[in-house]
Amino acid sequence: MRQKIFVTWLSLLLLCPVFGQKKEIHILAANDMHAQIEVFPQLAALIDSLRAEDPSLLVFSAGDNRTGNPINDKYRIPAYPMVALMNLTGFNGSTLGNHEFDVHSLSRLVGLSNFRYICANIFPSDSVNIKTVPYQIFDVEGLKVGVVGAVQLSPQGIPSTHPDNVKGIAFKPAEEVIGQYEWLSSECDVTILLSHLGYPKDIEMAHQFPWFDLIIGGHTHTQLKGDEVENGILITQNKNKFGRVTYITLTVDSDKVTDKKAEYIDVKKYGKRSGLVDAMVAHFNDNPEFRRVVAIADRPFETREELGCMMCDAYISECHADLAVENPGGVRIDSHPAGDITVLDILEMDPFDNNAVVLELTGEELVTMMRTYCHDRYISFPFVGGFKCELILDRNEPGIIKDVKLTTLDGRKFNMKKKYRVATNNYIPATSKIPEGSAHMLNIQTTDILTRFLENNKTVNYQGVRRLTVLSR
């Protein structure tokens, strides 16, 4: 009788779940990949290796998957190579970054993706046909992982892209909608914010929504160390273009996350490659026109301002303008070595399919346009051509512009009342204050302007060229 009772008790024990058993959830996170498809052979091998140890590994992107590589961005379906590679390597989800909206292919890309785009603060109309979800719940060996996504908004209330790219789409600030999903923290074992808001905003979110266990961040390209815990919430983020990827381990014990670790991996130095993914990347790279040399750089370009000054001079030359400006975010490479400048280099430098615009502005109106474009933030002040700028920063608010003074290139006084032909791209007038009727579209892409300028000049040297001077008062 005792033996029968013991066997029955033992059988019941084996059938019951083991309470208090620790489990680990593993996540690999990327952010701001910006179409660096050449890194995917190593990334695929890394993911395969990690999934060999844990088949339940989750792989997420915190947005800005595209823009930065013409091989991807100029494909017949723009940005399809990145989607194909993310499908092949087994991404589980991505939030939207501002650069996902750079061209009108997002609807097709969403349909071609084997993963969902998770974003709670986007509200597309039916006409644009962009199918996103505000959250998604993943099952990891019986544990529920709830993920909420969010994209950054500029002061104009849209992601940082041309306004024409988001027609038919409404947005709300993330902090106004995230609270609607607090119920996930009681429904799920783990709750994650997949954020393209930027590191400073992620810190704010950690205090406003303490029910998250983890924030996987992007947008500001901030290289974190792995121990950034804010209000009990682990925050991760890497430099752009695969500066690193993050391997995250969450320990769950009795329905609670009891430990959080983040390890940053230099995937570019990973020793293994996927042969299949190598072949796919080689297929996408097969475009001889991109390798055509259009000019020679006598000296290396060492700063973005040097590249921006060249772009402004191209606008002046090819648009028959007096002056030119270029937003710093429109210059997408930091430097360029001496030697060949190819079509691919031009498209990497200026990847947005922008059109050229000429405006009729006085000096005073030009200053207004530049200051309203950057919202008086020095970091966003445009590069210039045909003149120089002295930026006076607020000593009490570092990085904030108090005043802007213009001079001619040879240092003489600038006539602020005179009308000038000012050339730029169509993004700047669309996001700044300009007089009504002052902008005239030229129906030519800025990359074509830069190509013609370089072909006509054959050699260029902008080493040491500086047209912005910064003072603090």
- 294 in the same domain as 193: no
β-strand partners of 58: 27
Is a pLDDT exceeding 50 seen at residue 81?
A: yes
The Cα–Cα gap between 310 and 139 comes to 52
- 320 in the same domain as 263: no
Whole-number pLDDT of residue 107: 94
Is a pLDDT exceeding 60 seen at residue 7?
A: no
- 351 in the same domain as 230: no
> What's the whole-number mean pLDDT along residues 11-23?
58
> What's the whole-number mean pLDDT along residues 128-153?
97
Is a pLDDT exceeding 90 seen at residue 376?
A: yes
Residue 191's CATH number: 3.60.21.10
- 194 in the same domain as 80: yes
Percentage of the chain with pLDDT > 70?
96
pLDDT band at 13 (very low <50, low <70, confident <90, very high): very low
Is a pLDDT exceeding 60 seen at residue 195?
A: yes
Residue 382's CATH number: 3.90.780.10
In a domain, 5, yes or no: no
In a domain, 52, yes or no: yes
Number of Cβ within a 10 Å radius of residue 390: 13
- 293 in the same domain as 281: no
Listed residues 239, 263, 285: the one ending a domain: 285
Interior/surface letters 267-282, b for 16+ CB within 10 angstroms, e for the rest: beebeebbeebbebbe
In order, the DSSP letters of 304-362 are: HHHHHHHHHHHHHHHHT-SEEEE-GGG---S-B-SEEEEHHHHHHHS-S-PEEEEEEEE
Give pLDDT tens digits for 382-410: 999 999 999 999 999 889 999 999 999 99
pLDDT band at 316 (very low <50, low <70, confident <90, very high): very high
Alpha carbon 140 to chain centroid, angstroms: 28
Whole-number pLDDT of residue 3: 54
Whole-number pLDDT of residue 186: 96
β-strand partners of 296: 340, 459
- 208 in the same domain as 59: yes
The Cα–Cα gap between 137 and 185 comes to 11
- 327 in the same domain as 205: no
Number of Cβ within a 10 Å radius of residue 366: 23
pLDDT band at 21 (very low <50, low <70, confident <90, very high): confident
In a domain, 13, yes or no: no
In a domain, 10, yes or no: no
228 Cβ contact partners less than 8 Å away, ≥ 6 residues apart: 234, 235, 236, 262
β-strand partners of 288: none
DSSP classification of residue 184? H
Whole-number pLDDT of residue 124: 96
DSSP classification of residue 290? G
pLDDT band at 306 (very low <50, low <70, confident <90, very high): very high
- 189 in the same domain as 332: no
Is a pLDDT exceeding 70 seen at residue 2?
A: no
- 138 in the same domain as 34: yes
- In what order do the strands lie in the sheet containing 419-425? 383-385, 323-326, 419-425, 355-362, 439-445
In a domain, 34, yes or no: yes
- 448 in the same domain as 353: yes
Whole-number pLDDT of residue 391: 97
In a domain, 461, yes or no: yes
Is a pLDDT exceeding 80 seen at residue 14?
A: no
Give pLDDT tens digits for 405-456: 999 999 999 999 999 999 999 999 999 999 999 999 998 999 999 999 999 9
Give pLDDT tens digits for 163-192: 999 999 999 999 999 999 999 999 999 999
Listed residues 250, 268, 285: the one ending a domain: 285
Whole-number pLDDT of residue 473: 75
- 342 in the same domain as 241: no
Is a pLDDT exceeding 80 seen at residue 293?
A: yes
Give pLDDT tens digits for 246-278: 999 999 998 899 999 999 999 999 999 999 999
Whole-number pLDDT of residue 20: 57
Whole-number pLDDT of residue 18: 45
Is a pLDDT exceeding 90 seen at residue 87?
A: yes
Percentage of the chain with pLDDT > 90?
89
Pairwise pLDDT comparison (459 vs 11), residue with the higher score = 459
Structural domain harbouring 321? 289-472
Whole-number pLDDT of residue 220: 97
The Cα–Cα gap between 43 and 49 comes to 10
pTM confidence score: 0.83
Whole-number pLDDT of residue 472: 81
Pick from 16, 13, 11, 46: nearest CA to 28: 46
Whole-number pLDDT of residue 315: 98
Tokens encoding 11:
């059988």
Is a pLDDT exceeding 80 seen at residue 11?
A: no
Is a pLDDT exceeding 80 seen at residue 15?
A: no
| Number of domains, the chain | 2
